[in-house]
Amino acid sequence: MLPQLLEKISRARVLVVGDAMLDRYWYGDVERISPEAPVPVVAVKEEKDLPGGAANVARSVRALGAQCTLFSISGDDREADSLERLLAAEDIRCHLERDKLLNTIVKLRVISKHLHQQMLRVDFDCPASKDARVKLLDNYLKHLPEYDAVIVSDYGKGGLGYIQEMIQAAHAAGRPVVVDPKGDDYSGYRGANLITPNRKEFEQVAGRFRDNADLERRAMKLVQDLDLGGVLVTRGEDGMSLVQRDGKVLHIRARAREVFDVTGAGDTVIAAIGCAWAVGSGLEDAVHLANVAAGIVVGKLGAATASPAEILNELGKEG
């Protein structure tokens, strides 16, 4: 079933809306401690920019073969230029609501090449203005009919002030919506077809669970309270747990990997489900695809993606 699903995904049109950011990496050598304070001195030798946040979700969608467009808010600056250029290089359409009063969100990581270790992360955050959020909503409503499915990638940066309006509009247009949530209040995601919190995010809202039965009970309460189609809890090395509105439950083991780097794994999961739904897949097949794709991504270092060829190769090992 999954090979046929992958083939269909090449015809999918997926809209990603959320908090896009620029992931900036400075690589260098650490050879001494600063005389000014007891901290290492990193002599930067290399710089690299990558799309981050919702933009990385868009990368994951495109890597799976679907057409993808990203809607987000940014500053009117060089970082926004860089983000647009990076996405265009991967054939991803990008509609940034540029606000001259904002700075584009940047996560700067300083990494020691010699120690293979992240030494420091510096976040440049800037809350979006109401005007920018309204323009984003208007643009979303205008273009929504052009797409088969919607992915909402909420990184809690304030760029999504009208998620309820987006979900309701998608339902009115007959488009499924999958949400990667943030924060301790999920009421804004009411009515979504699926939300995909990781374990920590889920427990922040639903409380700590003792075992699978406890998880299922807490997830079903969330489904009922928020009128959701389902909850998919991604659990790292413990796999994934899906609880659906009709009472169906699915626990999937994580795929064994020598490297287990969860960076970007959640982006891959939501991208795979959005792509699968865009071509009419059932949720359980979509989740199985997401599990295979996430297994590939956690076997790589950094924010990686999974291609159809890699997924087919992985499925071939099962044959």
Catalytic center residues = 267
* 119 Cβ neighbours under 8 A, 6+ residues apart: 30, 40, 42, 110, 111, 112
Question: What is the DSSP code string of the chain?
Answer: -HHHHHHHHTT-EEEEEE-EEEEEEEEEEEEEE-SSSSSEEEEEEEEEEEEEEHHHHHHHHHHTT-EEEEEEEEESSHHHHHHHHHHHHTT-EEEEEEETTS---EEEEEEETTTTEEEEEEEE--PPPHHHHHHHHHHHHHHGGG-SEEEEE--SSS--TTHHHHHHHHHHTT--EEEE--SS--GGGTT-SEE--BHHHHHHHH---SSHHHHHHHHHHHHHHHT-SEEEEE-GGG-EEEEETTS-EEEEPPPP-SS---TTHHHHHHHHHHHHHHTT--HHHHHHHHHHHHHHHTTSSSS----HHHHHHHHHHH-
For 32, phi and psi rounded to 5 degrees? Answer: -155, 165
The pairing of beta strand 13-18 with beta strand 67-75? parallel
Provide the β-strand partners of residue 14: 68, 149
